[in-house]
Structure 1
Amino acid sequence: MTPAYTPRRPAPASRQSAERVPVLIFDEPSELARQAARQVRTLIEARSAAGDPAVLGLPTGSTPIGVYQELIRMHREEGLDFSNVVTFNIDEYVPMQPDSLQSYHRFMRENFFDHVNIPEGNVHIPRGDLPPEAMEQHAAEYERAIQRAGGLDLLLLGIGRSGHIGFNEPGSTPEDRTRLIVLDEITRKDAASDFFEEKYVPREAITMGVGTILDAREIILMATGEHKAPIVRQAVEEAPNAQVSATYLQMHQNATFYVDRAAASELTREKTPWLVRRVDWDDAAAKRAVIWLSRQTEKAILRLDEGDFHRNHLHDLVHARGGVDELCRMVFEDLRRRVVYTKGLPRKKKVLVFSPHPDDDVISMGGMLHALVQNKNEVTVAYMTNGSVAVFDQDVRRHLRFVDMTSGVMGSDSGAIADKVKGIMADLEAKAPAEVDTAAVQEIKATIRYTEAITALEVMGLGAENARFMDMPFYRTGRVKKDPISEADVEIVLDLFRELEPTHIYVAGDLSDPHGTHRMCYVAIEQALIQYNAEIAPEASGPGAAGETAPRKGDLRPLVWLYRGAWQEWEIDRADVFLPMSRADLDLKIEAIYKHESQKDRALFPGAYDEREFWERARDRNTSTAAELDALGLPECYAVEAFVTVHEMP
């Protein structure tokens, strides 16, 4: 087949731009999804007007779901007709039955095909249920089917954290076509949450090759979330190479990266824009540049000199800000004021801490939680989801044996309990790999997480009376894939606001959680907070309220403290509050994390790139933040937690 694209030489990185392929940055994932959906709609309508089919290449995963939802809305509300659409999906696991929970056939039906009017005969998805000897012929036929359809007009892509597009793992080349491929270890670790354990993830998949992908007439690669930022930078700014197959998109004449601002955060133009263009040196940009320069030169901020700025393309910053000494003092004093000890934290206030999972509170802000207790605040910790999917079956068996063996001590009907335990044990034994638990097992797993959370709170000086288990509806699927946030979820949060009337709330602001639960909890809190603020202080909810960090006179809105979790910490230039911790403070925090025994030693979903336990991540993150501040010239301390404070969630 003659390629539908003309290979081009990627543009080299230059002083004007480090990017070698077009990149569009969107403030929110929803904006990205709408724009991608509009591109699809434009193609469908143009092809329909010409009497031709629109041939789409479609991906799976969390990123394209927003696009599919927008296309479904266009179909239902605006009459977008899909009857002239032909689709080819990019890949499928092998072996995989079409109706399995993890099947991409099922994913596409549930998230798209069942909701629009694409003729069934126009849908093509690689099969994962064929015997091994039939896969090569099936792959060749898939290529021929794409050719018979006239080639792909528009191909939507995601990107894996190893840089793969489709399942084109490291080592793939632009000559590769649809084929069976062995999955990389990182890809299998990333998929482990969908299969409940890594050992259940298939070792092979069938995928369009890089060459097949490059034949598409237009390509849109979509990426969202901070966890995708490093690989997006590699794909966009590094030369094409076999280790990151997404870099081959630089060879395409009509490929564009659609990324949200979080996924773009490592791009040179976002992270260090002064290296590629002139910068408007406001206080935030100046602060970021000075901190960066301090790290580059390995000198404390107040020891930087004019030569350091000139040698690192920052001479215009010195000119704009009136000299090196004044600039460095401004940044240093700004950071110093943000170091807040326990006495400077809220005291005798109503504090509400939201914990997406039953361990995020102590992992992410255990030092702050203990300080709030010391300051005699009225603290409530609201655990938003039950965390049941992250509990091993073996933990359920252990607790069931305990219940059975202590039934006599508790004065219970030991025979009835033994029968119940036996039945649940049988259910666990009969469960197929990656199958959803029974309702009883899910409830037991949730209870395990709840009791661990209470024990951890006791380490912090709190108790069961300080815990609220919200069990939000969006999480109750029994699977890692959750339902969308609904009005019921928002109402649960809003009711808690109305009941407790908190003056301070703590929210997980780390949107790199690879399973998406933190992001979804954030959305529910944000929507509830907008309604709550309108109820209690309508005059403060109008234009101009956003971005304020101190309440106006009579302002009743709670102050929001955003913390980050097991995946990363706030950047030094973005944090509003640094809480120093002594070694004893950190030891207490780690003790509380230890109480989450089901997540200890080997967590079910630890993430693909980090083999450390959660307590180790928390320790290393807090001590490294302290070391960073020390290197900048600030007072030395053992560990630090960082927070961003706002009145309206960004």
Structure 2
Amino acid sequence: MTLLSRERVRVVIQDDHGAMARALAERVASIVREKNAAGEWATLGLATGSTPIGLYRELIRIHREEGLDFSRVRTFNLDEYYPMDPGSHNSYVRYMWENLFKELEIPPENVTVPDGTVPKGDLDEYCRSYDAAIEEAGGIDFMLLGIGRSGHIGFNEPGSPRESRTHLVFLDSITRADAASDFFGEENVPLEAITMGVASIMDAKEIALLATGEHKARIVRRAVEGEVHPDVAATYLQGHPNATFYLDRPASAELTRVATPWLLGEVEWYPRRETEAVIWLSQLVGRSILRLSTKDYRDNHLSSLVAKHGSAETVNGDVFNRVIARIRGKSRLPSGRRVLVFSPHPDDDVISMGGILRKLVENGNEVTVAYQTSGNIAVFDHDVRRYLDFYQRGEAVLGAGAGASDGRMGEIREALARKAPGEVDTPEVQALKRVIREAEAVSALESVG
């Protein structure tokens, strides 16, 4: 049955990131083929980050295996940190050449990325020239966007006006926090960026916004179903005649048609959907599952669920039993055995299955956790400095050997002070960061037995 929709812009939901990348790559390829056949240029607006990597790899595959020619493709990137040297580890110039341009053999003169080295006094004129270059190229045929947790497109942060053009912007605190790991600490993330404005983006003939992962689900719902508002720049896309949100399943999880489709019309009831609906209702009305009433169901668009089962009590009991059956008590876990747990990083094991680990230990199992990485890159430099300070103060308190390691710690502090953002740590610093993560992992495991 077709449901009504609360979505104010076209949405395509794919089963996984790979399917989404293939669909979008084929759309881009079709534009390039059409332009090549007509002897015309194709102009693309491109984004960076982890989300479009799959798309870029698929375009590279099409170029290599199907021989699609990208020599008559012009590109304009959405944004760049400011200031930013193009050779920097975090430069979007470097990102684009490493992940796309080089492999597609696009001539360098066909590529335009905002210049993070322009003197600040010249930025206004530079930004005007950026928009002028897009206009001179005939406008952007296909614009690729991502979406930040603050709802930004490009770096159009909360408060961006609809009429904005390419400009310098101060980055939102959420944006800088999200970029912290790329810059090895939030303190290293630039405060500003050059970005195409909302109007610059909206001028594109076709726009595709990609979003993946459950961490984007909330802002995706706001952008797709909410009112247009400057605080969420992505909502402006609702007013574009040819904009589409491409989502994987996790990113679509909070859309009404996915999370609560019964609010839109009659639905087919099956066990998983029944469980989701009853848990949602329980949270909504603030009562436990077994205390939900017929009125609760009737007042919240769930009358058909009660009708299917005959009574609210029957629905409540069925769902309650399903939920209880999913809880693995000690009696349903192995006892007296050797258990090996693989964890991608330290702490992932306890965060994802701490309760199960405790029950396994209580059942007399010999539990071993194998960490697949040291996790040292997740330790920021300021954490190392803090532990060095702790160690030095501890020496003073304990007395024996106090000051013996001052010289060595001084060398490590100097190495940290000399290190540029993104530069590889010295072996000693890497070892210290590994030990910090080991200590955190051991402490976490001790908490579960």
Q: TM-score, normalised by structure 1?
A: 0.64
Map 1:189-204 → 2, pairs under 5 A: 189-204=177-192
Cα distance 1:301–1:418, how it changes in 2: closer, same or farther (>3 A)?
closer
2:34 alignment counterpart: 46
1:513-543 CA distance string (max 9 Å, x none)? xxxxxxxxxxxxxxxxxxxxxxxxxxxxxxx
Secondary structure at the counterpart of residue 189 of structure 1: helix
2:351 alignment counterpart: 363
Tell me the amino acid that sits aligned with residue 54 of structure 2: G
Cα distance 1:425–1:332, how it changes in 2: closer, same or farther (>3 A)?
closer
Match for residue 46 of structure 2 among 58, 62, 67:
58
Give distance in 2, aligned partners of 1:217 and 1:396: 50
Match for residue 289 of structure 1 among 268, 277, 282:
277
Kindly indicate whether residue 186 of structure 2 is the aligned counterpart of residue 205 of structure 1.
Answer: no
Tell me the amino acid that sits aligned with residue 206 of structure 2: E
2:174 alignment counterpart: 186
Secondary structure at the counterpart of residue 252 of structure 2: coil
Map 1:451-470 → 2, pairs under 5 A: 451-458=439-446, 460-461=448-449
Give distance in 2, aligned partners of 1:460 and 1:305: 39
Tell me the amino acid that sits aligned with residue 307 of structure 1: K
Give distance in 2, aligned partners of 1:393 and 1:117: 38
1:197-216 CA distance string (max 9 Å, x none)? 11111111110011011100
Cα distance 1:305–1:399, how it changes in 2: closer, same or farther (>3 A)?
closer
Kindly indicate whether residue 283 of structure 2 is the aligned counterpart of residue 300 of structure 1.
Answer: no
Map 1:135-534 → 2, pairs under 5 A: 135-397=123-385, 423-458=411-446, 460-461=448-449
Q: CA deviation at 1:145?
A: 0.5
CA contact (8 A) 2:13 2:248 kept: yes
CA contact (8 A) 2:340 2:367 kept: yes
Q: CA deviation at 1:390?
A: 2.2
Give distance in 1, aligned partners of 2:386 and 2:216: 37
Give distance in 2, aligned partners of 1:400 and 1:390: 17
1:286-311 CA distance string (max 9 Å, x none)? 12112222222333323333332222
Tell me the amino acid that sits aligned with residue 139 of structure 2: G
Tell me the amino acid that sits aligned with residue 309 of structure 2: R
Percent identity reads: 54
Tell me the amino acid that sits aligned with residue 117 of structure 1: E
CA contact (8 A) 1:197 1:434 kept: no
Q: Which ranges of structure 1 fall in alignment gaps of 5 or more residues?
A: 1-13, 462-650
Match for residue 68 of structure 2 among 74, 77, 80:
80
Tell me the amino acid that sits aligned with residue 246 of structure 1: A
CA contact (8 A) 1:178 1:208 kept: yes
Give distance in 1, aligned partners of 2:418 and 2:177: 25
Cα distance 1:265–1:448, how it changes in 2: closer, same or farther (>3 A)?
same
Secondary structure at the counterpart of residue 193 of structure 1: coil
Give distance in 1, aligned partners of 2:177 and 2:25: 30
Q: CA deviation at 1:439?
A: 3.7
Give distance in 1, aligned partners of 2:115 and 2:102: 19
Match for residue 134 of structure 1 among 105, 119, 122:
122
Secondary structure at the counterpart of residue 181 of structure 1: strand
1:399-447 CA distance string (max 9 Å, x none)? 66859x98xx9xx9x99x8876555443223112443323442233123
Give distance in 2, aligned partners of 1:189 and 1:394: 15
Tell me the amino acid that sits aligned with residue 140 of structure 1: R
Give distance in 1, aligned partners of 2:383 and 2:157: 35
1:617-639 CA distance string (max 9 Å, x none)? xxxxxxxxxxxxxxxxxxxxxxx
Cα distance 1:332–1:460, how it changes in 2: closer, same or farther (>3 A)?
closer
CA contact (8 A) 1:15 1:275 kept: no
CA contact (8 A) 2:3 2:266 kept: no
Q: CA deviation at 1:339?
A: 3.7
Q: TM-score, normalised by structure 2?
A: 0.92
Tell me the amino acid that sits aligned with residue 80 of structure 2: E
1:501 alignment counterpart: none
Secondary structure at the counterpart of residue 192 of structure 1: coil
CA contact (8 A) 2:43 2:139 kept: yes
Give distance in 1, aligned partners of 2:237 and 2:289: 40
2:18 alignment counterpart: 30
CA contact (8 A) 1:34 1:70 kept: yes
Give distance in 2, aligned partners of 1:125 and 1:354: 42
1:591 alignment counterpart: none
Secondary structure at the counterpart of residue 216 of structure 2: helix
Tell me the amino acid that sits aligned with residue 253 of structure 2: S
CA contact (8 A) 2:43 2:73 kept: yes
Give distance in 1, aligned partners of 2:295 and 2:417: 69
CA contact (8 A) 2:278 2:319 kept: yes
Give distance in 2, aligned partners of 1:305 and 1:457: 42
Q: CA deviation at 1:228?
A: 0.1
